[in-house]
């Protein structure tokens, strides 16, 4: 299984809502990533989990809260978002990142988020 799955595919939420994005992989990868991508821009890294521990937080506002319950699952909890947070949210995973520079990241199909 060489697939990263993400749910939901589309999400519309109000600024007062609480919602969660989910990501799952069964490739035995030990690193998982959240990216945010605005239209016609490259993906921007938000968070990295390595061995289920938060490794990188790219100064993301606290209204985004990541969670890694186990090595296969990654969640992104959303609360009190702003309209400018509307974007495509991509999840990715990769093998053990502890050595070498080859680190192919496998991406999921993304969740298109609209904040009203």
Partner 1 sequence: AQKITQTQPGMFVQEKEAVTLDCTYDTSDPSYGLFWYKQPSSGEMIFLIYQGSYDQQNATEGRYSLNFQKARKSANLVISASQLGDSAMYFCAMIGERFSGAGSYQLTFGKGTKLSVIP
Question: What is the binding site for partner 1 (CB under 8 A)?
Answer: 31, 40-43, 45, 48, 50-51, 55-56, 88, 90, 92, 94, 97-99, 101-110, 112
CB 112, CB 11: distance < 8 Å: yes
Of 18 and 51, nearer to partner 1 (C-beta) is 51
The nearest distance, CB 112 to partner 1, in angstroms, is: 7
Please state the closest distance from residue 106 (CB atom) to partner 1, in A.
Answer: 7
Closest contact distance (angstroms) between CB of 16 and partner 1 is 27
**Please, what is the minimum distance in Å from the beta carbon of residue 44 to partner 1?**
8
94, 106 contact by CB (below 8 A): yes
CB 8 within 8 A of CB 111: yes
Distance CA 25, CA 32 (A): 9
Report how far residue 3's alpha carbon sits from residue 61's, in angstroms, rounded to the nearest whole number: 29
Q: Which residue lies nearer to partner 1 by CB, 40 or 59?
A: 40
Alpha-carbon span 16 to 115, nearest angstrom = 10
């Amino acid at each position: 299984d060489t697939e990263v799955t993400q749910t939901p595919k589309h999400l519309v939420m109000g600024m007062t809502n609480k919602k969660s994005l989910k990501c799952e992989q069964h490739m035995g990868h030990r690193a998982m990533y959240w990216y945010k991508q605005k239209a016609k821009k490259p993906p921007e890294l938000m968070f990295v989990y390595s061995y289920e521990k938060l490794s990188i937080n790219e100064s993301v506002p606290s209204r985004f809260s990541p969670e890694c319950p186990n090595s296969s699952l990654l969640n992104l909890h959303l609360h009190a978002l702003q309209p400018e947070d509307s974007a495509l949210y991509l999840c990715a995973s990769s093998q053990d990142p502890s050595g070498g520079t080859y680190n192919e990241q496998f991406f999921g199909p993304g969740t298109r988020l609209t904040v009203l």
